[in-house]
Structures are given as C-alpha cells and as structure tokens.
Amino acid sequence: MWNPFSTKESRAVATSDPYLGEFLGARWQARADIEKASGHAVAHRCIQLIAEQLSSVPLKVYRREADGGRVAASDHALYSVLQDSFSPFLTAFEGREWMLVSALMYGNAYARIERNGRSQIAALHPLKSPSVTVERLSSGRLRYKVAKDNGGTEVFTQDEILHVRYRTGDGVLGLSPIQIASAAFGLALAQQDTAGAAAENSFRPAGALVFPEKLGGTGKDDAIKKFKERFVGQLKANEVMVLDGGAKFETFQFNSKDSEFLDSRKLSNLDVCRVWGVPPSAVGITDDATYSNIGEESRALVNRVLAPWAKRFESVYNATLLSPEARKTHYIEHDLSGLLRGDLATRYEAYRVGREAGFLSVDEIRGFENMSKVEGGDTYMRPLNMAPLGVTQNAQASEATQ
C-alpha cells in the first residue's frame, strides 16, 4: 500500500577508490594527480623553496673529537659525494634537490648506492619515484624493483638503495603530502581550471539564446554552434553581435565577484601552503605581510619546515650510508646556521656579545664571515667585572698581582 509519509532512503557509495565511487554514482570526491598538483603555482613554489633551500646549505660528514667538538671529515669518501658530486652526471646540489623534490611530491625518494672496490660509497644515483616498487620479504628485509625505460626491471636489495620516506603507515612506503591533502589540491585545481575557462571568454559569463518560437529538428543545435563560432572566445569578446530571426541573447547575472571566487582561490592557496607548512610570504602571498612579520616568517620557515626535513634526511643518510662502526666516530648533518644569520647589524651585534663575553675569538668571528685568520686572532677576552662565584673582585685582583 502506498504510504504518503514514507521516504526513500538514499545512501552514498562508501569506497576509498574515487574512480570506483564515481562509476557507482557517488558524489564528487576531490582527487589530485601528483604531477598536475605539483604544477599548481603555489605548490610548485612550496616544493622548490624547500628543495632549493636545503640543497644550498652545507651537508657534511663530521668527525667527533675527543674533547667533545667536531671537525669536517674532508678525507672521508662520502664527503665529496655530498659536497661536490652526487654522481658523474649530477652535482651535489642537483642530486640533493632531486631527492628532496621526490620526497615532497611522492613521499618517497630513492637513490641507488654505488660502491668502489673498497666498499666505499663512490656515487648516489637518484631514481624516479614512480618507477620503483618496494616489497617486504619473508625475512623482513625490503626488495626494490626499478622499472627501466626500455621495459626491463632491475632488482636491488635493501643495502643497495637509499630510501627516504615522508610519513609512513607501514614502515615500507611513505605517503605523498599531495595525496594526504587530496581534497585541498582537488579544490585548488578545480578553481584553477574554472578560472582558465572563464579567461577564455574574457571572464564574460555565459548566457541564453532566446527564440520567440520553438525550434524543431536540429535548429537549436545549429543555432548554438553558429553562435559559439562567431562570438565565444577571448579574441571575439568585443565583436558586434547581430542576431536575426527574433533571437535575443540574455546574460546570466552571475560573476566571480558575486560568488567570491577570487577570495576562495586565495583560501585554497593558503591551504596549499599549510600542506608543507610554508609561510605564505615565502611563496609570494604578501596580502598580510609587513616588514617585521616577514623576518619572523623567514625564521619560522627554517625552524618549522627546513629543520624537520633536514633531520629526516640526516637520519636516513646516517643509518644507510654509514656503517654501525663508522657511526661511533662520524655523522652527517646539515649546517642551517647560514639561514639564521640575520642582517649585517644583527650579526655584528651578536659577534660583539660573544667577543666581550669571552667565548668567541677574532678568528672564529672572521670565519663566520668567510674571512681569513689574522695574527693573534685566536685569543679570548675575559671581562674584568666577572669572577668565579663566591670570589670578590678584590681577591681576584690580588691573585692576579701575585
């Protein structure tokens, strides 16, 4: 019996596969192709900014000293690989940039380790992330299969591959930041496509062709086709429109300003920045930027973004490129101090404090500024108004005269 109060229940299709969901009738789900999403202007700048900044700072092999200090181990075989030449075909900057971009885009960065006859690392050959398949063997170790351009496949063991992961859920593969935030990227790309479609007709809204009588057969399709050919397009935006047969053209009263389209695109750009934690001013979004907060955001970029990424790569480099015995005396580390130096006046004020406090010498200060040493520059100053706790200045002066 028909029940006027009954309602037909409608359920959404539950699936994690967006293509399957679309086929089964699920509502639109935002998804973003990694290659296309990385071509978004803000996303590209975020990726390139992190990669270029970290690739430009020194990445050195250090040797621990007995007194607790450290020195650059320039005689180590790995030192020149990380500082000068990643491989015979890539400089150290290019190789490190490749690895960082792969991790920032795909969540995984791979490089084949090449060793010489003495088992020393002679080169690192970065691999295309989409071409690598990772398997966990029954022994718990990993096996890497690399698809060649000619259709073949190379197989490598865990010891032959340098593998840097972004956030991982299984300890085998990292997750792509773009795929994690696919909804944000899907919206940003959809708005970008919409803006491009609007720009094709000089941002003029579409309208309706109104005829006084009903069109039969293919008359409607022919009229629309001829109208588009004559008047639709950026180069035809200012042409004179002449319609006959009683036809009228009525535009829809709807534009980008009414829908706050531009503001929504700005919010999407900020969402893209949030994916990698990059301050907006660092990628050219300067709507709320001032002279003071840009400096703070620059320091925040180093502390909140570059430092964690540097530590992620350092931990993998140390664990993979150095043997357990070598890690007792050596380690690999980025030098981020250059990114936090500040302007000239700020640096010189800090040097003055260090010199007057007695923990910096002239040679050390000149070294920070890439200047050569001077005669007598290795001496340290001792402030006259400072003494060990419990010792008066008179007692200190009498001890100095004895």
The mean pLDDT of the chain is: 81
Condensed to tens digits (0 to 9), the pLDDT of residues 357-391 reads: 888 899 988 888 878 888 888 888 877 766 665 56
pLDDT value at residue 204: 55
Task: Give the chain's end-to-end CA distance (angstroms, integer).
Answer: 116
Please report, to the nearest 10 degrees, the dihedral formed by the alpha carbons of residues 221, 227, 228, 234 taken in order.
-170
Least Cα distance to 60 among 344, 388, 363, 322 occurs for: 322
Residue 216: pLDDT band (50, 70, 90) is low
The answer to whether the beta carbons of residues 381 and 354 sit under 8 Å apart is no
Q: What is the mean pLDDT of residues 114-128?
A: 93
Q: Which of 18-27, 31-40, 97-106 is the least confident region?
A: 18-27
Which domains does the chain possess?
69-180 (3.40.140), 194-269 (no CATH), 341-387 (no CATH)
Q: What is the mean pLDDT of residues 71-90?
A: 93
In the numeric block, which tokens belong to residue 387? 């003494």
In three-state secondary structure terms, 167 is coil
Q: Which carries the bigger pLDDT value, residue 133 or residue 356?
A: 133
DSSP H helices, 201-253, are 219-231
pLDDT value at residue 264: 84
Q: Which of 119-128, 156-165, 222-231 is the least confident region?
A: 222-231
The crossing angle, in degrees rounded to 10, of helices 41-56 and 182-200 is 120
Percentage of residues of the chain with pLDDT beyond 90: 43
pLDDT value at residue 357: 86
CA atoms within 13 A on the CB side of 385: 2
Condensed to tens digits (0 to 9), the pLDDT of residues 222-246 reads: 766 766 666 665 555 555 555 656 6
Q: Which of 122-126, 133-137, 282-286, 317-321 is the least confident region?
A: 282-286
Distance CA 311, CA 92 (A): 18
pLDDT higher than 80, residue 12: no
Residue 208, Cβ density class (10 Å: 0-12 exposed, 13-18 middle, ≥19 buried): exposed
Q: Which helix (H) or strand (E) holds 122?
A: strand 121-127
pLDDT value at residue 67: 80
pLDDT higher than 90, residue 327: yes
